[in-house]
A and B are shown apart, each in its own frame.
Chain A
Amino acid sequence: MKRALTIAWLLLLASVPLWLDNLYVLHVLIMTGIFIVAAMSLNLLLGYTGQLSLGHVAFFGIGAYTSSLVSLGFSVHLLPSWEVTLDPKPVWLGMLCGTVLAGLCGWAIGRISFKVRGAYFVIVTVSFAEVVRLVALNWVELTQGPMALNNIPYLTLGTPDLLEVSFLRKPANYWLVLAVAVVSYILIRRLVASRAGRAMIALRENEPLAASIGVDVTRCLVLATIVSAAMAGAAGTLYAHYVRIVDPDVFLFIYTVTMVIMVVTGGKGTLAGPVVGGFIFGLLPETLRSLQIGPEVQWVIYGVLMVLVLYFLPQGIVPALRDWWSGRMVNGQWRMAAPHSPLTIRHSPDEAAQ
C-alpha cells in the first residue's frame, strides 16, 4: 500500500512535463527541485545530527563554480611565472569534480569546527561562505568576478555517433533534477537507517550518552558534513548547467536562509520535511510575486514565518501532520510542544568542550 502510494507520487511527478505546457511553471519547478536537493542535504546535518550549517550556500556555490570551470576550462597564474591551464572537459566530469570538491570542503570544515561543540560550527560555516564569496568576487582571473561565468555548456551524455542525450531543454532538465532528488532522498534514507545514521541521531539526542556507549562522535559529525556538503555541491552543479550563468551572487546568504526555512518549516529530522518545505518556499515567491509583493516584504514574511513556526510548530509541518493523522493530537498538544522530549538532556557548548 505504502509502496504503491510512493510509486504513484513518483509517476505523477515524472509525468509533469508531459501535460504541463507552461514552460515558466516548469522552470519554477526545476529551481524548486534544485533547492529541495540542497535542503535535503542541509536536513541531514540540521535534522539528524542537530548541527546547523549556516554557510550551506558555500558548498552549493563551490559545486556550481567548479563544475562550470572544469567544463569551460581556465588558465590562471598561481604565481606570476607559474600558469595553470585546464582545457575544457566533459560536463559530467565537471559535475563529478564539483560534487567531490564540495565534499572535501565539508571534510575540512568539519574537521576544524567539530573540535569543539555548539555554536562554533554555525559560525565557521557562515564565515566560510563569506570568504568563498569574497574569493569568487576578487579572483577575477579564475572566476571572472562580478562579470560572471557565461555560456556554461549544458550536460550531454553518450557519444555523438551512437546515442546522445542533451540536457538543454526544460523537460530534460526537469527529469534530471527529479532523478538527482530521488537518488539523494534514497541515499539519505539509507544513511539515516544505517549504523552511522543511528549514531548521528543518538548523539543529537544526548551526546555524552552516545559517546559513553562508544559512538565516535566527531567521526560521525564529519561524515555527515561530507555527505551533506557533497549533496549541496551536486545541487550546485545542476544549477550551473541548467541556468548556464554563475556569478558571486550564488553565495548570497539569503539562499542559505531559504534552505534553513525549508527544513525548519517542513520538519527537521524527517525525510519528507525538506521536500514539503521545499515545495512551499519554492512556489511561495512566485505566488507573492503575482500578488505584487516585493522581495523585501517577502523576506520579512519569511523571517516572521520562521519565528512563528518555531513557536507554534517547533517540530515542523510533517511531524505535526503525522501526529494529527494518527489521531494522537490532544487538544493543543503540539501548539506549544516542548522542542525536545523530556528525556533529552541538552548541554551547553562550553560544558561539552570541557
Chain B
Amino acid sequence: MDQLLQHLLNALILGGTYALLGIGLTLIFGIMRVVNFAHGELYAFGAYMMYLWVMVLGANFYLALPLAVLLGIVLGALVELVLLRRLQGADIDTTMLVMIGAWIALQNMEQLTWSGVAKSINTPFPSAPLVLGAVSVSWNRLFVFVVALVLIAATYALINRTRIGKAMRATFQDRETAALMGVEIGRIHTFTFALGSGLAAAAGALLGPVFVVYPTMGDLASLKAFAIVILGGLGSIPGATIGGFILAFMEELGAGYVSSGYRDAMGFLLIIAILLIKPTGLFAQKERIG
C-alpha cells in the first residue's frame, strides 16, 4: 500500500512536466498545423541551458531557470521565423519533414557542443527528502511540480484571458476568418511556436537537474509528448494537461509493477489503445471548417 502511494505521488509530480511538454506540442499543432518533431530538442535545449548557466557559468539556480526558458522562447521564435515562416500554406508533410531536418541538426549540434557524456546539474535543495508519513518526496521534485503547475496555470490564463490568447483561439477555430478580422496570422504563429518551445524548454530545465542531461534526451521527450497529445486529442489543451498526468501514472505504475525496462514503452501502448478505442483522443475539440 505504501509502495503504491509512493508510485502515485511520483507519477503526480512527473505528470506536471509531461503536461508542460504536451501543452506546448498541442498548441503548435492546433494553431499552426505543424507536426513539430523538433519539440524534444527544445526540451533538451532547456536542460542544456540550465547546465550552461548553473554548472559552467556558476549562476544562481533560481535565476538560471527563467533564463533557460527565455532562451528556449528565443530559439523557438528563430526556428519559426527562419524555417516555418516561408512555408505557410505548404502541406503538412513538407513542414513535418523540415522539422525532422531541424531535429537532426539541432540534436547533433548539441552532441557536438556538449559531447555525448551525460551531465548532472547541482541543485540548491537539501538532499534529505521530505517525509510525509509513509511516503517521501525530494525537495527538488516538489519544486519542479509547483513550478510546472504555476506555468500550466499561466498558460491557461494567457490563452483564456489576454488579447493575444483570444487571437490564438480565433486562429485555431478558423484561420481565414481570424485573418479577416484583423488577426496577424504570421505574428500569432511566431508567438505560438515561441510559447510552445518555451514550455518544452521549461520542462527540460526543470527535469534536467532531477535526472541527467544528454544529447538524445529529446527523442523520448518527443515521443512522450506525441503520446500525450494523441491521448488528449490533437489541439486540445485540457486534453494535453490530463494526458500528461495519465501517461505519468501509466509509466510509474508500469515501471513499478511490470518491468522497469519497458517504462518508456507505455506511451506507445497508450497510443495503440487510444487508436483502437477512441481515435480522435479523449478531449478532441471540434473545429469549424470552411
Contact = CB atoms under 8 A, between A and B. Distances in A.
Contacts of A296: 108-109, 111-112
Contact of B101 (A113, A294, A306, A314): A306
Interface stretch (A273-281, A319-327, A342-350): A342-350
B54 interface: no
A138 B268 contact: no
Interface stretch (A74-82, A99-107, A115-123, A211-219): A115-123
Residue among A126, A137, A304 facing the most chain B CB atoms (10 A cut-off) = A126
Contact of A134 (B86, B264, B275, B284): B264
Contacts of A314: 94
A112 interface: yes
A339 B91 contact: yes
A54 B286 CA distance: 28
B219 to A, nearest CB: 7
B23 to A, nearest CB: 17
Contacts of B101: 302-307, 310
B36 to A, nearest CB: 10
Interface in A120-154: 120, 122-124, 126-128, 130-131, 134, 137-138
Contacts of A260: 97, 100
Given A131-B265, A134-B265, A348 B103 contact: no
A9 interface: no
A113 to B, nearest CB: 6
B99 to A, nearest CB: 9
B79 to A, nearest CB: 11
Nearest to B287: A350
A161 interface: no
Nearest to A297: B112
A185 B227 CA distance: 35
Given A116-B280, A303-B102, A339-B91, A122 B261 contact: no
B206 interface: no
B226 A303 contact: no
B90 interface: yes
B178 to A, nearest CB: 16
A307 B33 contact: no
B112 A300 contact: yes
B108 A299 contact: yes
A351 B33 CA distance: 12
A353 B235 CA distance: 14
Contact of A127 (B106, B271, B279): B271
A310 B98 contact: yes
A302 B104 contact: yes
B135 to A, nearest CB: 28
B223 interface: yes
Contact of A112 (B261, B276, B284): B276
B146 interface: no
B227 A310 contact: no
B93 interface: yes
Contacts of B59: none
A296 B105 CA distance: 9
Contacts of A349: 92, 234
A264 B101 CA distance: 11
Contacts of A303: 101-106, 108
Contacts of B35: 119, 122
Contact of A124 (B220, B264, B271, B289): B271
Interface in B250-275: 259, 261-262, 264-265, 267-268, 271-272, 275
B230 interface: yes
A340 interface: yes
B12 interface: no
B179 interface: no
Interface in A287-345: 294, 296-297, 299-300, 302-307, 310-311, 314, 339-340
A124 B275 contact: yes
Contacts of A302: 101, 104-105
Interface in A236-282: 253-254, 257, 260, 264
Contacts of A123: 226-227, 230, 271
Given A116-B279, A127-B226, A354-B289, 12 more contacts: A52-B93, A119-B35, A126-B226, A134-B262, A138-B261, A254-B104, A300-B105, A302-B101, A305-B101, A306-B97, A306-B100, A307-B101
Interface of B: 29, 33, 35, 83, 86, 90-94, 96-98, 100-109, 111-112, 219-220, 223, 226-227, 230, 234-235, 259, 261-262, 264-265, 267-268, 271-272, 275-276, 279-280, 284, 286-287, 289
11 contacts: A113-B275, A120-B230, A124-B272, A130-B220, A130-B223, A254-B104, A300-B109, A302-B101, A304-B101, A307-B101, A348-B92
Interface of A: 50, 52, 54, 112-113, 115-116, 118-120, 122-124, 126-128, 130-131, 134, 137-138, 253-254, 257, 260, 264, 294, 296-297, 299-300, 302-307, 310-311, 314, 339-340, 346, 348-351, 353-354
6 pairs of A and B residues whose beta carbons are closest in the complex: A303-B105, A303-B104, A306-B101, A138-B261, A299-B108, A127-B268
